[in-house]
Amino acid sequence: MQSSMIHVRRNIRPGTLCAAMVVVAGLAAPSAALADLTFLTQERWIETVAPRADSLPTRVSSPGFTRFNEVYTNAAKDSEAIGKGDATQDSTLGSKITATGTASGIGGGPIGFGSGESYFKTTFTADTDTTFNFLFNASSFESSVVQYFNFSFTGEGVNFTSGDSFRLVFGQTFDLSGEGTLKAGQTYTVEIDLYAFGDGMGTNGDGSFGFSMVTIPAPGASLAMGLGLAGLARRRR
């Protein structure tokens, strides 16, 4: 697990109505800022396994906090061990946290198998209390199985989980959404794991996940200032 830090800030400009009011008053309003998110750790990787592919690396990991966008495949080397594993992930750590991933495994022959896994985990803090909302979904494809997936978003006052060892079969889906408040200075953790396996008995694994979390700015001081100055301008006319 990587343990350095990255600091992210996002600002949104005041609305056009507020900005126009401030211009009438002859003053510029400051931006209404979202909370700063500081990312403390990250562990993101994809892994694939297939028989007789020992010479190939099985895992590709994110080296840092920048966007992680990888696709990886491992395939069997001979006809006696038919198997293939695939995994993908595209994730970003910023003012908006996003992650999508897939995992699949196909097996055949007397000793054939294949597996894929996509893993995402990060810890972060906020510099001020701020509200958030998030969406998470996971699904298995038709005629396929996701042998395991897990989702959790936890911290002070936040506890959203899918439960351990959750299984999806033949087109099943799992959806979870929520909202809450991030407390200033507290540590929060998002963790996602998706694993699919295929064997020589005709069971193939294939599934995907998606996650998005955004923070929501509270009404800023700039809006109140803009409205106050506009009212003052009207009284002076």
Q: What is the pLDDT of residue 94?
A: 92
- Do residue 167 and residue 74 come from a single domain? yes
Tokens representing 230 are 């506009």
CB distance 190 to 122 below 8 Å: yes
Q: What is the pLDDT of residues 39-94, one digit of tens each?
A: 999 999 999 988 766 656 689 999 999 999 999 988 876 666 678 889 999 999 99
Phi, psi of 50 (to 5 degrees): -145, 155
Looking at every residue in the chain, the average pLDDT score rounds to 77
Whether residues 61 and 29 share a domain: the answer is no
Q: Are residues 88 and 145 in the same domain?
A: yes
What single-letter amino acid sits at 133?
N
- 3-state SS, residue 136: strand
Q: Are 195 and 121 in contact (CB under 8 A)?
A: no
- pLDDT of residue 139 exceeding 50, the answer is yes
Amino acid 148: pLDDT:
81
- 3 and 72 assigned to the same domain: no
Q: What is the pLDDT of residue 80?
A: 66
The SS3 of residue 203 is coil
105 and 208 housed in the same domain: yes
pLDDT at 145 > cutoff 70: no
Q: Please indicate, yes or no, whether residues 14 and 82 belong to a single structural domain of this protein.
A: no
Question: So what's the pLDDT on residue 172?
Answer: 81
Banded pLDDT at 15 (limits 50, 70, 90): very low
Q: What is the pLDDT of residue 220?
A: 54
- Per the structure, the complete domain to which residue 200 belongs is given by 40-216
Say whether both 95 and 147 belong to one domain. Answer: yes
- 137 strand-pairing partners: 175, 210
pLDDT given at position 142: 66
CB-CB contact of 205 with 144 (8 Å): yes
Please answer whether residues 144 and 204 qualify as being in contact, where contact means their C-beta atoms are separated by less than 8 angstroms: yes
**Residue-wise pLDDT tens digits, 147-168:** 788 899 999 999 999 876 566 7
Say whether both 116 and 190 belong to one domain.
yes
Torsion of CA 194, 198, 203, 209, to 10 degrees: 20
Mean pLDDT value across residues 221-234: 44
> Which residue from 56, 86, 55, 90 is spatially nearest to 72, judged by alpha carbons?
86
Task: Name the band, by pLDDT with cuts 50, 70 and 90, for residue 137.
Answer: very high
Give me the pLDDT at residue 2, please.
Answer: 53
Number of domains in the chain: 2
In this prediction the pTM is: 0.76
One-letter amino acid for residue 84 of the chain:
K
Q: How far is CA 44 from CA 62, 69, 97, 123, 154, in A?
A: 6, 10, 13, 12, 18
Same-domain pairing of 113 and 225: no
- Do residues 110 and 195 both lie within one domain? yes
Give the SS3 label for residue 22. Answer: helix
Average pLDDT over residues 6-16: 38
What CATH number corresponds to the domain at position 110?
2.60.120
Based on the fold, state whether residues 96 and 178 are members of the same structural domain: yes
Q: What is the pLDDT of residue 207?
A: 87
User: 159 and 49 share a domain?
Assistant: yes
- pLDDT value for 203: 75
Of residues 174 and 168, more confidence is placed in 174
